[in-house]
């Protein structure tokens, strides 16, 4: 299985983003996804900046994929998406049907992102006709669903699954970070930049429950399928995805790399793995 760095979901200062990807280009990973997937108002890096960074990372020999926005509302967002699609060099991760349409109408191959709804082999085949070469499974897909895909498809594309990090659960027109800070979204002051790993949300009795990240809601705990890597391999998963976090990402990469290279099975570090077992995502299942 190959190791990938998923798109950065948070809003970090420009220098931090650039430093992160310059470091990532030296990490023992196979694929690096770059680009803004959450909020088009986040402009520490413009589309042009992301493309330049992509070229820099690609020079290290890593495969680079440009990730697109999950929720599109404005014409300006479609214009940015067009620039991404027409980059002329890198594969695009389509996180919305708008991106699929742009890519298929230009005859370009693409990666299907986790916010596309691909729940069965018929949907997958149609997207393969459109140019899908790799599918990142949506967060709630289980081991059972992967087996069903395999049984139903004669020519499966590459399958990728998130194995580390806070998973995206929902997207809204509303910015929950702005709401929490009592700010209007149109005048948000880009305050999500103050929460490099999102803003924690707890139940009224103090249990960590969700993470707020602008217009996105994430899991509170970190998904960790490290101990399940052998199971993932047996299920036919081709790539495993690590979602960026503000600190200690190099160590996360090193742990997964060692396990993929034949090291001992990983101990559980993250809090959640329920989806893989067909259970509520927030649960931790011990195999």
Partner 1 sequence: MQLVCPAGSPPALRTAIDHGADAVYVGFRDQTNARAFPGLNFTEADLQAGIAYAHARGRQVYVALNTYPNPAGLAAWRAAVDRAAALCVDAVICADLGVLDYAARRHPNLPRHLSVQGSGTTHVALRYYVERFGIARAVIPRVLSVQQVERLCEQRVVPIEVFAFGSLCIMVEGRCQLSSYVTGESPNRHGVCSPAKFVRWDEEPDGARRVSLNGQLIDRFGPAEPAGYPTVCKGRYAVGGEIFHALEEPTSLNTLDLLPRLQAAGVAALKIEGRQRGQAYVGAVTRIWRRAMDRLAAGPWTSEAQWQRELVRLAEGHQTTLGPYHRSWH
Residues that bind partner 1 (CB under 8 A): 70-75, 77-78, 96-98, 100-102, 104, 115, 117-123, 125-127, 139-140, 145, 148-149, 151-152, 169-176, 179-181, 184-186, 199-207, 209-210, 212, 217, 219, 274-275, 278-282
Minimum CB distance to partner 1, residue 5 (Å):
22
Minimum CB distance to partner 1, residue 6 (Å):
16
Minimum CB distance to partner 1, residue 109 (Å):
16
With respect to partner 1, which residue has the nearer C-beta, 191 or 257?
191
With respect to partner 1, which residue has the nearer C-beta, 29 or 282?
282
Helix 97-105 vs helix 75-85: crossing angle, to nearest 10: 50
Instruction: Compute the half-sphere exposure of residue 2: CA atoms within 13 Å on the CB side of its CA.
Output: 16
HEC-encoded secondary structure of 34-89? ECCCCCCCCCCCCHHHHHHHHHHHHCCCCEEEEECCCCCCCHHHHHHHHHHHCCCC
Minimum CB distance to partner 1, residue 14 (Å):
25
With respect to partner 1, which residue has the nearer C-beta, 58 or 181?
181
With respect to partner 1, which residue has the nearer C-beta, 190 or 209?
209
Minimum CB distance to partner 1, residue 43 (Å):
18
SS3 category, 268: coil
SS3 category, 150: helix
With respect to partner 1, which residue has the nearer C-beta, 25 or 177?
177
Q: What's the CA gap between 50 and 56, in Å, rounded? A: 10
With respect to partner 1, which residue has the nearer C-beta, 218 or 245?
218
First to last CA, the chain: 21
Minimum CB distance to partner 1, residue 57 (Å):
28
Q: What's the CA gap between 249 and 254, in Å, rounded? A: 9
Rounded (10°) CA dihedral 155, 2, 136, 34 = -130
Residue 88 φ/ψ region, left for φ over 0, alpha for ψ in the -120 to 50 degree band, beta for the rest: left
Pair of tokens at residue 99? 């991106």
Minimum CB distance to partner 1, residue 29 (Å):
26
With respect to partner 1, which residue has the nearer C-beta, 4 or 141?
141
Q: What's the CA gap between 153 and 48, in Å, rounded? A: 38
Distances (CA, A) of 244 to 8, 20, 165, 207, 275: 5, 9, 7, 24, 20
């Amino acid at each position: 299985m190959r190791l990938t760095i998923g798109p950065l979901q948070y809003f970090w200062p420009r220098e931090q983003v650039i430093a992160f990807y310059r470091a990532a280009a030296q990490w023992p990973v196979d694929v690096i996804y770059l680009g803004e997937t959450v909020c088009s108002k986040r402009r520490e890096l413009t589309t042009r900046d992301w493309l330049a960074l992509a070229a820099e990372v690609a020079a290290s020999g890593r495969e680079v994929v440009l990730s697109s926005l999950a929720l599109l509302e404005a014409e300006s967002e479609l214009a940015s998406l067009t620039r991404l699609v027409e980059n002329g060099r890198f594969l695009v991760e389509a996180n919305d049907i708008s991106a699929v349409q742009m890519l298929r109408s230009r005859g370009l191959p693409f990666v299907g992102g986790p916010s596309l709804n691909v729940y069965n082999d018929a949907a997958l085949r149609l997207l393969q006709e459109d140019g899908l070469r790799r599918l990142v499974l949506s967060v709630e897909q289980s081991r059972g669903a992967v087996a069903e895909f395999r049984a139903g498809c004669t020519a499966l594309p590459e399958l990728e699954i998130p194995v580390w990090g806070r998973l995206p659960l929902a997207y809204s027109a509303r910015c929950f970070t702005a709401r929490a800070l009592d700010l209007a979204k149109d005048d948000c002051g880009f305050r999500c930049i103050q929460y490099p790993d999102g803003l924690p949300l707890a139940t009224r009795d103090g249990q960590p429950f969700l993470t707020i990240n602008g217009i996105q809601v994430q899991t509170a705990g970190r998904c960790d399928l490290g101990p399940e890597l052998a199971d993932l391999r047996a299920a036919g998963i081709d790539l495993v995805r690590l979602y960026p976090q503000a600190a200690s990402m190099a160590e996360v990469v090193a742990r997964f790399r060692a396990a993929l290279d034949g090291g001992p099975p990983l101990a559980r570090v993250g809090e959640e793995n329920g989806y893989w077992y067909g259970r509520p995502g927030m649960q931790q299942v011990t195999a």
